[in-house]
Structures are given as C-alpha cells and as structure tokens.
Structure 1
Amino acid sequence: MKRDILYVDDEPSNLIVFEAAFEETFNVYTAANADEALNFLKSQPVPVVVADQRMPDMTGVEMFGLIRKIYPHTQRVILSGFADSDAIIDAINEGQVFQFVRKPWQRVELLSVLHRALDAHDLAVQNSVLTERLLVSERCAMLGQASGRIAHEMANQLNILPLIELIEDDYREDEQLLEFAEVARLTYERLTELIEEVKAFVRFQPQNAELKPLDLDESIHELASFIRFSRTVPQEQLSIDIRARPKILGHKLKLHQVLVNLIKNASHAIADRTEGRVQVTLDKADGDAVISVSDNGTGISPENLERIWEPFFSTKGDAGNGMGLDVAKRLIAAQNGEICCESELAKGTCFTIRIPLLAEGKDDSPEKNSAAPANPSSAKPVPLS
C-alpha cells in the first residue's frame, strides 16, 4: 500500500517534478506555501513532509517547527540549494528536521531518505504506544498497592451488619425503615464483595463470579431504590422504563455496579441543565435482554468517544479516574454480554447493554440444575477478567 508524502514548495515547476518522480511509489500531495500545508495537515496528517527551505512568508525550517509541535511523529525533510546551512544544521540539532537534502536532488538519494523517514515515523508511533502502556502499567502497580491498604481499612470499618439485622428483627412493622435496611444490606453486600475482589487482585488470585438466574425487572427496581436513597440523581430527573421482564444468567451485584457507574456519569452530564433527564430502560430484543442508560446532557466528542473504554482515560479532569467504563466493559463481558455507546455533542449519550436471555424453563444455577455438580463449589465459575 502506498504511503502518503506531502511536498511543499512555492515553485510550481518543482511541485510538478517532485510529483512525477515519486507518484508511482507514494501518494504525493503538494502545497504551494506553509499556510496551505498546515491547513492540509489539519484534515489529513501524513507521516512525512518534504519542504523547500526558501519560501516567502515562512521558511521550511520555521514551518517544521510548527508541524513538530502539532504532529510530533511526522518526519520532516528539508531541501535547499542555498548557503543557509547554519539555520538548517541548528534545526537538525534541535530535532525539527529529520534530514537535509541539497538541491538539485537525485531521485535515488531522496527516495532512500523518504523510506528511512517513513521507518522513523513508524518507530516513533510504536515508541509512543509502548511508553503509554508502560505508564498505564506503572499506574496499575501503584493502584494495586494502594488498593490493598484501602481494602484492609474498609474491611475493619465495615461492621454495620448487626445493626441492619437488629432493624429487620425489631422493626418489622415499619415498612419505610425496612426499606432503608434493605438498601443498607444491598450496599453492605456490594462493599463486602468489592473488598474481597480487591484483596484477591492484590494477592494475584483469579477473580471469579458465579452466574445465577436473574430477574432483571426485580434487579432494576432494587437499583432504583438504591439510587433514590443515595441521591445519585435527583428523583425528578430519573425515570425507569420497564418494557419487558427478561431473565438472564448474570451477577446482580456486578450488574448494579455497572449501572450505578453509568447513571452517575449521566448525572454529571446533565448537572448544568435544568431540563436534564436520565432514563434507564429495560427491554428485550433478538434473544437478548437490553438495558440502556441515556441522558440529554453534554454528549461526548467523536475523538473522546473512541477512547472512553481505555483505562485511566477520563473527560472529567480531576473529578474522574478513568477506570469506570473499562471495569464496566469487563464486568458485562464476564456475563456473556456486551456494552456500547452512542453520543452526540450537546444532545446526549446512550449506553446500551445486551446480555443473552435465559431460555424459558432453563435454570443453570448449581442449586437448581440437576445436571450441575452436587457440590456447588465444583461448578466452574466465570472469570471476571
């Protein structure tokens, strides 16, 4: 496949000669001045730019200084037949120019330079990717160390279960108080399981979750109670739309973890909008249970939409750690499902989760499935990562 080369020169005849010399080898684009070249790069970045040094308004070296700041991986080759080598040598030493070629150039020589420039571009891109991965690995290592300490302290402080049981035993006639206790118990279970996962992660033990038959409409109603008491979203801005009663093989707490994160993200997106709304919809289609969390908030730009699943990537600045959606994708995948996102700036965002329906009359939980092992501990768990 041909690679792209941009050639910049104020002499029309030079543009014609360069294009004729290399059009069979590369996709050659031309520009008559620096402004034209910079505008071209905005719409179509290229791996290599070749430019004449002596041009009106802006020299080749000056243009390369701007290109380097915006497109650091693009390699820059300067052509010159004048005795202004000091400026070019300085530019090479400062890293603004990949190589200087004296005019009149020879095709074989310049062709070799262009191939080496393309190799240098590819190497720079690979190094950038590896550097980013290394930074992510270092942050994960630091996160693991901190998580172990946090999990230990949380486990020491999480002693509210006796109080929950006391309320359930002594205040059975108080429906509202029992509802509070149920939300507290659900929160306790979620935190307890999360702490155990963190401990397992720090000890490099595999994290497994046993999937069980799950009535999603009941789970969504439980989630709605939790959201209402946690005040994640003002009650008047949140709506729940149950259009079907699908049943899946899933993990309730993991699913709640994902949905709470999505609802919190949606609440942030509508924070500055008086008419902001968040809607959770449950339906089924094409053999899947379908859960969507949508908002009419700020939306996500196309360039950020491509990166939202990356670990540590966040559009919230210091308010976010960039882990929520990466974890959400893993948790849904562990339940044999998938999650996707559609968004438009100034109009809103919709996250959609699809998980296969549990066939009617089928129950794959160990305690109910006669084909399952008698000992539940011998059933194969589904890995979460």
Structure 2
Amino acid sequence: MMRQDEKISVLFIDDESNNLLSFQATFRRKYKVFLANSPAEGMGILNKEQIQVIIADQRMPQSTGVEFFQIVRKAHPHPIRILLTGYTDAEAIIDAINKGEIYRYIKKPWDEFELQNAIQNAYEIYITREKLNRKISELEKTNDELNRFVYSTSHDLRSPLASVMGILNLAKMENSVQDPNGYLGMIETCVNKMDTFIQKIIEYYKSIRVEQEYTRIDFNVLLEESIQLFKMQRPDITYSINVDQPGDFMNDAFRMSVIIDNLISNAVKYQKPSEPNPKVEVTVKADDKKATIKIEDNGVGILDNHLNNIFKMFFRSNNTVNGLGIGLYIVKEALTRIGGEISVHSTHGEGTAFYLEIPNYVNMPDPGHVRKEALTESK
C-alpha cells in the first residue's frame, strides 16, 4: 500500500524519443515516471518495478500496444493499462476493451489534462482493486481458520458424546437405573441427534477441503453401498435401483458418495408414517458425457414456497421430521465442486424427486485442470 506522500508509478512506452521526452517533461513532477522505447524494455521495467499505470502507444515496430497488453495482462495483471493511438484502429481497440486488455484509450496527440485525469482515474481503480484483493485474502484466511476450528471442535466433541452413549447403553444392559418417565431414551435421542449433526459438520468440512480425486465409478456398487446402510435403519422401505452404465464413468468418488448418501437419507427421513408401501427409487443413465440421476420417494413432499430455500444451510422444509437442515446444503456444495447440477420436483403429500447431472471426465486428459478452470470462470 502506497503512502500518501508517494507518487503514482507510471510506465510510458513509445518508440519515438520525442514522445518519451515530452511525457517526462510534462509529468515528471506529478508522477514517478518510467520510460521505455520498446515493449521488451517495458516488460523489463515491469519485472523490476512496482507499476500502477501503464501507458503504451498502439503503433510500434515490434508489436502493437494491444498485443503488448495481451502479454502484460497475464504476466502483470495488476497495473491499469491505457492505450495511446493516433490511428482509427476501432476494431482492435474495441476488442481490447471488451477482453479487458485496456482500461481506456486516448487519441494522439494527447491532451495533458485528459491524460492526467485518465492516470488519476486508473490509479484509483488500481488502489480499489488492491484493497479488494487484501480483503479477499483476509476473508479467505479467516474462513480457513474458522473451518479448521469447527472441524477440530467437532472431532473433540465426539469423544465425550461416545462416552455418554456408552454409559447409557451400559445402564440399559444392567437395568441399574430406574427410569419410569423414559428420561434415558430422551437423553439417547438428543445425543444421537448431536452426534449426527457433528458428523455432518465433519462431512461438510471434508467436502470443501479435500482435493478432487477422480476415479472410475461403478454406480451399482456406489448405490448398493449407500442403500445397505439405510436398509438397516428402515427395513420396511422398498429400495429400487435401475442403472444404465454401458461404459466407464469418472468423477470424484468421495463427493459422489456424499451426494448420494445425503439424498437417499432425505428420501428415507421424510417418508410418511402412514404410508403402507414406502419406497425410494434411484435411476441412473450414464454415457461418455455425463450421468443423469433421479432419486425419488413417495414421502411427505415439499411445499412449493419452500423449494427455493431447501439448499440453504439450516433450512428445514418440514419441522415435524427430526432433520438438521444441512444435508442438502452439503449436496449443493459437493455438486458445485465436481461440476454437477441439481433440480427438484415435489408435490406436497405425495413425494419428491431430485434430478442430478454430473459430468463424466473419463475422456479428459486432466479433469482436475478442467474443473479448476471452470471454478475460476464462475467467480
């Protein structure tokens, strides 16, 4: 960050010596001026000095100003770029502005007042971006520290909860405690709910922190492993799996498991107590481009005015069910990281269907690189 008494650092690039001398004579008292008579010399200065504003002539022997800025934008993205032109290169200039290579252009011969205003405005943009970047870095650091704290605390909390559950089980086995009002059962329910919540926090932390690792996925195996757990919890539910996977499918197996587990868990959790034939149906159709997945139940359904909020953290669409309001948020976060999409259709009182589209990276030479580029573009 510059001090108030420091001058703005301006790099001026022009192949004509007279223009260089004229710029220096006009602005040397106002700014810290650096001069270069070629793009190569200008790049050398950028590699050594902290420059806030770059001004370059459009027509130079070695390259045009726009071509130079195309390189500068990648190598030194922070300085604000101004183009000087005495020609009507309208298409090139408009294209450069649209692509972000230049902040603005000024016609030659330049006017001192106009150029001074352009430099001042460019510097203000530079300072604003610097402040924003610092704030982003501070927020990322704070967020990382908070995530680590939550993860560490969650791990530490599971140990005493396990001890409480062990004592409750021991008391039930030995019949050593008289409990006519069922208080032990209430305590056990609360402890189980807290333990589930802690597990969800740990799951969320891993989902946002663990690096993507792309492996081949067999949907039959993935779904069977997930459903086996829920069959033990709710053996009365009929589970139906229909997988059409003729070839290989590649994506992040960990996050795929997180997504499937949470959606099936929701389908099981929000079944109607009065339903004589509760069911959960999972349909998968995978090809070399993507997998389309449908997870449907005949449970309580979701109210129409709640559908836009179900992926928000701690939102619960049905207060009669013992949910946490974090499962679908975790699903959405995991899907974002692997490039997937989700939609939902629900009829209150009849059931809910979630529809997923997940990309197949089997033909990608470097799927991790592809995903990082996609995340960068979305910011």
Q: TM-score range by the shorter chain?
A: 0.3 to 0.5
TM-score (norm 1): 0.42
TM-score (norm 2): 0.43
